[in-house]
Structure 1
């Protein structure tokens, strides 16, 4: 029998269409960003490439790379001598001059260029200098020379008579011993007390780290804040710059005391459960050449962009060249230094908008997504910010990073892996602008409560924010704080208990309501500038020629809030109680803000967060009886009322009464009933479900 051979028949295979790449996380969360996904991926890939370059293909970490402060600058060597190193590629000669050699060039103190690099080095015996000696660099270059303060210097002091700044040898006999060696910040929610060491005292002078620890830190703790944000830490030549024209990025300002005293302040705060973050200025640098980096070794572009991009003409300062490896090394090392050496818990990055755009974000409305991806963005700066966030959280996974950014660029506070820049929070900078506009331009009768609610909650769902009603910007000369806009000169004559007029009464009421509606709608944290919580009068004006170099307005007048005969303490007491009440809802940030009711005609709005219900009546003249809201069935107690006499209110309500919801058959399946309240005009209350 013959068998036929079976042959396999091949089926035609239809080629598969190439798989569409999955959207990056930022676009997944916001489909409106899809047209710009290529740009978002490009930025992310650029940062990934840079990380690979700096870590030698992952053989080391970003933290390893960002350790320049351990190499550059002045250090003790293993044998007790000294070693000094500086990056100065354009220099031809560098000498150390100072107290130790009569401020003269000497061969013994001449640095040598390390072969094949732009780095210079000098090794000296232990006897060559001592702790406390003043010194500078004498730098020479083709066609010029000049005295300079080292770029990586850790201590700079100013002579009281000559006003000249010098580097100082800082090597105390004993290193600071940390009492609280590890600390984890409380972030749910984050209540930030923005402060300035120098103007933190009542006296007309520059305050110190030690005075702040003794006199102000206890007020922060008592007020319920769990984080302080310290301004002006990095050394700056002009006190009146508020610390934003930095000259020496690794030096804590000697105006306020020693590095050890700053460490003691941070250590003490940690022992009390208070996180400490600093204003980090990497957006620009002071122009000064002797004190700063403006023309370090005859090359004005060593640290800064060339051409038109070198100067920020609005700030009278210089812009870093974020695309240069050595500058990236300098700035990333600076981030790690403050975390490692001083145990700071993170940073509020200043001037991020200025960094992101070639035009610094000036004169642009940012009306649509296209404005963030139109080619006017500085990819080098964007890459730096992404790497800074990666590094900071690598050094301390619990660190806090906040971006001061006003353009609203998407992804700033989104995860790096999702295509974001990796900040933990962005400042909700539109909120204080909104309050200023409302107070200046609208009558109380025209305040729309839904508009208020919308402005407080208008944010990206994938980015956490820090909300605030006002910051130090509104307190400066030329502007006005909320309390001063509301009451103005009547604060001088009608802020004593019993002497309040209608203007003062209105101001006290709205000051509390504005803060409560701002703080209760946060999705990350709330910020207050030192003294604003109790309505500090007047403005901030640092010593300058125009005011006779006076410290009268460069301080905080704590005596006002401590005087129980004045109205200020009502506002301070309310602020502390407000934070206490917000902490009643555990996992506050994870609890959504849910609108219950709004009526623009009545100017009444109510919303809930978990078991807390917030009710606001912005109506300046109408009080409402038995005003009803549908809420979950149960009993509710008043835990805060702006109208309470303890906070300068009229006491129109009996806050001891328990409010029981009223049955309504229509809402049985929703488990809701009517909560009926008496709501006085221009007041707010918070109720908690029993």
Structure 2
């Protein structure tokens, strides 16, 4: 194997690769793979710098592709379709003539069309007129597609297809927000293989974030292009060095999502009785992450709450959430258990699961039911395409207690800073007592998941000797009427 700093088989070694090996010496076995990946990255970056004017300019594809106003007047239309034989623009502006406005083929799969202004200076394509790109495939057939760079698309109430509507208002808005969702998954609307691994396809990846609800959507950004941004990764393979600097041979992400944690909680609630919960398995799931690579922990996300599944609170309390959440009613044992477990699950996930914590919208107060977006199967209903944020503000309902717990939990973290501290030292995983205990940021966390037993004078080993005052059990956090006394686990 090559020495540090040397090239192997023509590949460059990351300049700080030795720091990565200090974290995990076993990665030395894969040194050549890290060198190859780093060299490919450097080569592609240099190509982008040379041909596109830098990564930041390259990522601004929205200013180049689609339809944009030309600096010298008229419109500039640009698409990327490397497999097309010809490309045309059609729409209301030309009476839907399929071939009257052809694009000119450029290098790297690009196609370009310039439309000069009309004699009166107005745009060739009026605001809110409909458009389509006509793609001629190699066998001569024509395909009608929406531009993936379309700024505005609409769907008729009686149709499942979307129309591309040209957006060029006479008076521009002062505030404009673009919610990028699933453009990347709709690449079939263009022509060309999705497996084209070249730098013009990289532009597509840089500009199209896969964002369905919040988790998969926690956004992929470009840290070095904007110094204040965070770069987040979603995956479950455990691939080494995802969240290590590029100079070490990593991929430069700041955090990755700890996706297995939320699945574990739902699995326990769906498949296991309370007395059958495996403490060791819970701890393993919460701590199963690579040292030195930051993770974002969360108790639930849209993956759990979408139709076909239920939110965490709804798995715990189900129909009782419709009848027993009023503070004026006698509380049921189902709600007592549900609220207590909801708080325990969130706190142990927050404290043990990672270096950052995510609340899926409504999780902070135990949002009931599920999410479902308008579709043919529900008669295009918006009824479940909502988050009932008002529930936490209603002082006649118990959701306020769950939200107050969330507020207190985050204030406690701000005070002690366990998310910024090294991983916890777990000292107890007692299967019989259903107790988990660990130390992090100078705090001793002790969780009792036993469905029936409480413990006094419970003996726990600690790493740092001293007196440990209570911070949670004194705070009225378990349940207003049925909370356990301070000092009782």
Asked if residue 518 in structure 1 is aligned to residue 349 in structure 2, the reply is yes
* Aligned twin of 1:134: 130
Q: Residues of 2 paired with 1:286 and 1:121: CA distance?
A: 21
* Aligned twin of 1:21: 4
* Aligned twin of 1:633: 466
SS in 2 for 1:393: coil
Asked if residue 404 in structure 1 is aligned to residue 234 in structure 2, the reply is yes
Q: Residues of 1 paired with 2:207 and 2:383: CA distance?
A: 38
Q: Residues of 1 paired with 2:418 and 2:218: CA distance?
A: 31
Asked if residue 148 in structure 1 is aligned to residue 145 in structure 2, the reply is yes
* Aligned twin of 1:31: 25
After superposition, residues 47-86 of structure 1 pair within 5 angstroms as 47-56=41-50, 60-86=53-79
Q: Residues of 1 paired with 2:107 and 2:247: CA distance?
A: 40
After superposition, residues 117-132 of structure 1 pair within 5 angstroms as 118-125=110-117, 126-127=121-122, 128-132=124-128
In the alignment, is the contact (CA less than 8 A) between 1:477 and 1:539 conserved in 2? yes
In the alignment, is the contact (CA less than 8 A) between 2:374 and 2:381 conserved in 1? yes
Residue 624 of structure 1 and its aligned partner are, at CA, apart by: 2.4
Larger Rg: 1
Residue 115 of structure 1 and its aligned partner are, at CA, apart by: 8.5
CA, structure 1 residues 131+566, in 2 after alignment: closer, same or farther (shift >3 Å)? same
CA, structure 1 residues 503+82, in 2 after alignment: closer, same or farther (shift >3 Å)? same
2:488 equivalent among 654, 678, 688 = 678
Residue 515 of structure 1 and its aligned partner are, at CA, apart by: 0.5
In the alignment, is the contact (CA less than 8 A) between 1:585 and 1:610 conserved in 2? yes
SS in 2 for 1:607: strand
SS in 2 for 1:55: helix
CA, structure 1 residues 91+30, in 2 after alignment: closer, same or farther (shift >3 Å)? closer
Q: Residues of 1 paired with 2:108 and 2:370: CA distance?
A: 54
Q: Residues of 1 paired with 2:67 and 2:476: CA distance?
A: 59
SS in 2 for 1:122: strand
Q: Residues of 2 paired with 1:94 and 1:322: CA distance?
A: 19
Q: Residues of 1 paired with 2:342 and 2:108: CA distance?
A: 63
* Aligned twin of 1:440: 270
Q: Residues of 2 paired with 1:116 and 1:607: CA distance?
A: 56
In the alignment, is the contact (CA less than 8 A) between 1:415 and 1:422 conserved in 2? yes
In the alignment, is the contact (CA less than 8 A) between 1:513 and 1:642 conserved in 2? no
Q: Residues of 1 paired with 2:30 and 2:255: CA distance?
A: 23
* Worse-matched range after superposition: 556-565 or 33-42: 556-565
In the alignment, is the contact (CA less than 8 A) between 1:137 and 1:149 conserved in 2? yes
* Aligned twin of 1:228: none
CA, structure 1 residues 547+166, in 2 after alignment: closer, same or farther (shift >3 Å)? closer
SS in 1 for 2:96: coil
In the alignment, is the contact (CA less than 8 A) between 1:474 and 1:481 conserved in 2? yes
CA, structure 1 residues 328+636, in 2 after alignment: closer, same or farther (shift >3 Å)? same
In the alignment, is the contact (CA less than 8 A) between 1:155 and 1:167 conserved in 2? yes
* Aligned twin of 1:326: 200
* Equivalent residue pairs, number: 468
* Aligned twin of 2:413: 582
In the alignment, is the contact (CA less than 8 A) between 2:371 and 2:385 conserved in 1? yes
1:265-307 C-alpha deviation (Å, 9 max, x unpaired)? x9xxxxxxxxxxx76764x4364xxxx22xx3xxxxx1x2xxx
In the alignment, is the contact (CA less than 8 A) between 1:642 and 1:649 conserved in 2? no
Give the structure with the higher percent strand: 1
1:549-585 C-alpha deviation (Å, 9 max, x unpaired)? 3222222233443433332222222222212221112
* Aligned twin of 2:331: 500
Residue 461 of structure 1 and its aligned partner are, at CA, apart by: 0.8
1:360-410 C-alpha deviation (Å, 9 max, x unpaired)? xxxxxxxxxxxxxxxxxxxxxxxxxxxx87xx1221122112222112222
1:482-523 C-alpha deviation (Å, 9 max, x unpaired)? 222222333334333333222221111111100000011243
In the alignment, is the contact (CA less than 8 A) between 2:336 and 2:482 conserved in 1? no
* Aligned twin of 2:437: 606
In the alignment, is the contact (CA less than 8 A) between 1:81 and 1:124 conserved in 2? yes
Residue 454 of structure 1 and its aligned partner are, at CA, apart by: 3.7
Asked if residue 558 in structure 1 is aligned to residue 389 in structure 2, the reply is yes
* Worse-matched range after superposition: 555-564 or 456-465: 555-564
Q: Residues of 1 paired with 2:87 and 2:37: CA distance?
A: 39
SS in 1 for 2:267: helix
Q: Residues of 2 paired with 1:639 and 1:623: CA distance?
A: 16
CA, structure 1 residues 92+34, in 2 after alignment: closer, same or farther (shift >3 Å)? closer
What is the RMSD of the two structures over their aligned residues, measured on CA atoms?
Answer: 3.5
SS in 1 for 2:339: helix
* Aligned twin of 1:168: 165
2:309 equivalent among 460, 475, 479 = 479
Residue 90 of structure 1 and its aligned partner are, at CA, apart by: 4.8
CA, structure 1 residues 519+41, in 2 after alignment: closer, same or farther (shift >3 Å)? same
Asked if residue 425 in structure 1 is aligned to residue 408 in structure 2, the reply is no
1:228-263 C-alpha deviation (Å, 9 max, x unpaired)? xxxxxxxxxxxxxxxxxxxxxxxxxxxxxxxx4426
